Structure 1
Amino acid sequence: MVSQQVQPDTARLRLQVARIGANFSTNSLTRNLALLERVLPLARRYPTSVHTGTLYFYLGRVLRDLGRPAESLDYFQKAEIILARSEKAGTGYGWLLYEKCLTLSALKREGEATRDALRCLDWAQEKKQPQLQASACAMLSFIFEQQGQTERSRYYNTLLEKLKKVQPPSERDRYRQSEAHCTADGDFVTALFFSKKTLGLLKAEKDKEAILNHLHQSTIALLFRLHRFEEARAYIGEALALNETYQKLSLFSDLWSDLAWYQAATGHPAEARRAAQTMLYYARLTEDPALVREAWLRQSQVYERIRDFAGALEALKKFHSLNDSLQNTKRTIEVAQAESRYRLEQKEAQIHRLIRFARLSHLRAENQAQQYAYLNRQCWLLAVIGMLAAVASMLVTYYLLRSIKLRRALKAQNAEIDKQAKALAEANQLKDRLFSILSHDLRGPVASIKAALVLQQDKVCGDAGLSGIDQQVNRLQELIDNLLYWSMNQRNGLRVYARPVSLHDLLNEVVETYKGLIARKQMEVVWEGPDICLQTDETLAVLVIRNIFHNALKFTPPNGRVRLVTEQTANKAKLHIVDTGIGMNASLLPGLSQRGTGLGLPLSADLMKLCGGSLRINSTLGAGTTVTLTWLI
């Protein structure tokens, strides 16, 4: 059974590193990097653990393959310090030296790369690792060839060829071949005899990983075929104990599956059910959908064997559900591959067309070169005929070249003049628009302030006049803010500083600003909808809402109504500002947010776009206007 106790951090680190290693070759580089960085904080708590060293080794490989060799070398050096002092590193230390050598070579540090390659070769020879020896020899041959040391490169090439020669089969290989032949012939008793012989040799060599793989792939399977369940149970326990060291999750799943079959075959339904659940648990830990699918099928078969037909049916349903999902994924991948092959064929056809065009251009260039050569020979002939003709030809050529240079210079000057004229026209257009906006938006508030001041001097108006002055001053300040942000946006100098902000707080602030105008026009402002937390620039959001809300108040007659409606969808937040004003013709709406007579509406549209949102206007003549502001959540 699976222990229900919380594992220590070191055990959790070992499990996480083992899981990454099991899927390292099948995952993409970005996927591996994300998994490694997730486990890295836990590994840093145990700087001397062999699992931390293994994690650094994986990080170095991924970073190098992603084109970040400097960071990769840093992690390789950390891993070397840890694994060099650990007796549990196994063959990993030798492969670490080899990968570090590759990284140093990529960084053009040939001296250090040569040193580490020689260390790797010595270690491989000492540990009798022929594959690692061959890799180190290939690396040394390449390095010395790049350095121009031909003799040393040839020496390691010769050593590499010797390592590649086929060695006579060992006694263990002969036993395995005999076992394979007997299994193919259906003689499982003899096959089991040779399997146990091989197992004895592996135990004598104390190769625990090879023992684990042989038990799983050969001995246990043969014992089940021969219905020798008690003996198979003992080997399953031995394999489970060995796998505690290597933490191969898929192997755990297979072994618990074998144990479930044993319990079912020997009439222990409760133990068989627990073993089947443990098998499914380890299959899920691998995060491999195909292995989980196989685990569901095995669980249904075990449940059927112990006559738990309801459980078997449930497991079989989950198997078919996952199988259908995997088949759909497979078909999607096949369609994507077909599309990729089609695009590749199109690109190849395009390349062939470009090659043909290049050949044709080359032939044309050769033809032109031949024509130039012919003309050159004619010129020499004319020079021989007479000095005067040669002098005349030289003068003509000189004037032609001078004319070409003059035309080129004139063309460049014209292009520069056109460019400056275009820039000047744009600047003039910007100036005209600015003057138009200033004449439209500044004249009204200034005239109102002046009239109110005259009335105040004549003591015609009282507090109402001061309130009007205050309102126009607020309007003038709003216009100055609009001008400031508009000018910053035109110069691309406006920056967005997003932070969490409450939409109701923004609406409170805007409504409070215009409470005098609302009271004077006796208007009703209604709020609807929930409060929403936005991730946006608070200053820009207040500016946009204030401009739209002021327009709604300005174009709505007294005793009118303005509704502020908030709405939230899956990934968007919306604010609808609905008024009962005069509205406008639908034909005027397209492009209105970019060509308004004032600054408020065009600036609001630009600021919403800058914040990643949008502004939309709906209006009906005589029925009012609805402006919708949308932010992404």
Structure 2
Amino acid sequence: MRLILPFILVWLPFLSQAQATNSSPIVKWKHDMATAAHDSIRLRVCTQIVRQYQIENQYDSLYRYVQRGLGFHKASPSDFYVCELYYYLGRYYRHKGLYRRGIGPLQQAISHADRAGSEAKSARYQYVLAVIFSDAGQLEKAVEQIGSNLKYLLTHQNEPMLAANYLLIIELYGNMGNTSLQAQYQQKYLSLVKDSWPPDHRMYAHIMKGQILEKKNRWQGAANEYRAGLRCAQRTGDSLKVIEMLHYLGVNGRHRRQYLSALSLFNNMEVMARRLHDLSFQATAKREQAITYLLMQQPKTALQKARQAANYSRQNKQEEELIITLQTLVTALEANGEFRNALIVSREAQQIKDRRFAEQSAQKVAQMQAEFDSETSEHTIRVLQKNAQIAQLQASRQQQQIQLAQRTQLAAAVVIGLLGLLCGVVIYFLRKTQRTNIQLNEHQQLLQQTADALAESNATKDKLFSLISHDLRSPVASMKNSIRQLRSSDTEFHLKPLMNRLDQQVDSVLDLLTNLLDWSMVQLKGFQLNFESLVLQELVAEVLSQTSELIQQKQLTVINQVDKHQLVVADRHQLMAVIRNVLTNAIKFTPTDGFIRLHTVAKSAMVELHIRDTGVGMTAEQISNLFKSPDVRSGTSGEKGVGLGLRICREMMDRQGGTLWVEQLPKSGTLVRIGIATPVQTAHNSVANDHVPSSAAF
């Protein structure tokens, strides 16, 4: 069954309308559209023109007016008419063979029809969309589209449309090889058939019933259905339908081995086809006769009929039909022992197949080129439309600008006079205001500078008082307590520990005061650094001398490997304070009999003084908080600290352009790296630890 059959079934009313139209009203409609007052009227008339162009098969003109109608739709939206425009645009693409391009417009047509509340139009458009899906080779999407359409049609009394959808889905499932679903929908279609249907519709129903019975090998029952279909075909008065039914009956009779009856039917078929000058059916009749004679073991007669069929097919120039006929001729030649001629005919059939394949390939390429050309042309049209809109907007804007200029000329003449009068007064007051503003800005800047200086001074004072009140109170209180105990002690045995503790507390207070004085010196705004070239070894030796008593008390081993020739550029007082503070920490947190090592490492523009110890070390968390809010910890011998030393050292080194970093050693202890600026590098600068013996490393 041909796919075009259900399509004709749906559009039969439109075809009859086309036959009833004797003269085209397009000229009058074009005049009405040109003289219409509103875009809504133009849209309605444009839709009528497009519909008439489709009836007259003038698809190029149809396409142009569809584009115009869609332009009217933008200015005056109307889903009722625009759904038809998109529908005819999809029909245009299908006519041009651009099936994939036709899918989008049909989907737009369905959407607008749904918004317009036209369910009948939506069902019809969904059916056509399924046909286009099928044409594009997207059979599954076509079945899905028909399925959604059937849900609507089963709830509405629209049997012709429902029958058309059933026929289409039967054809689709047949092409997909799904015979079970095809049979189900065949039964549904046949249940719709009524005696009140037109005879051609009932004829196709009988054909379908016959085909179903033949699949069940019920050939006699199928013959009865075909005879009923022949009677319906005769009632239509259409000779082509009668020929078609004779063909079905003849093939059925041959399967039932009623060869003479089949030959009679094929002869009648040939006579009617010759009367209509239909070469296709004449070739089909001769071919069926040849097949029948072969089954009757009459190869010579079969060969004669096959050659006649081949002549008709060659005249008809239908290559698909010619290939089938040539295959029958090859069989007849082989049955007569003419194998050479059979080979020649077989080669001819193969050449036609190859040529058809090449033509189909070329058609696909041409279709792709046509789609590309169509897209290009549509893009060009859209660009031209946009350019026209831009030009229209520019013209409108220019007109508005001219009107605005005319309106402002009068106002400008009046304003110019007033401005001339006011200019002198305004300039005078502006100059006076500028002078006043300059003076005010100068006073404000002076006041702001004074306020900033006072704020900074107050902040430094508050910070200093806070540190003194917080960190000095505890050791002084401890000293006061120790003195009270000394007064109350009456034995020399208790006196010595108290004196030792008092000595430690005095050292702690002295250390605190030293740190506070160093920090206050750093915070003073007017304090000036005194940079000078210093020998680092001399500074380290002086600090070691100052702390020798602490080193001896804890019996520590100090390894001094600082380069004797290493020069640095720094403030002597602050650098010594930094080294002293770091070395004091190393002594404090290194247990008895521990090691402290000092050595230098030369860098590109500075030298680093490394101070390593084998003390208790610090955790990663303590190091991260060291310069923010450090914990106050006691030394290995109970020495007290205030937690300010390294913070002050960091600030001192920052002011001198140096660095100070604290690292945790792999096993135990701490490494402090003090980066100090150096003068122009000399030949004496070298890495001191290159000469360190291996026994000194720890």
TM-score range, shorter chain: 0.3 to 0.5
Q: TM-score, normalised by structure 1?
A: 0.33
Q: TM-score, normalised by structure 2?
A: 0.30
Larger Rg: 2
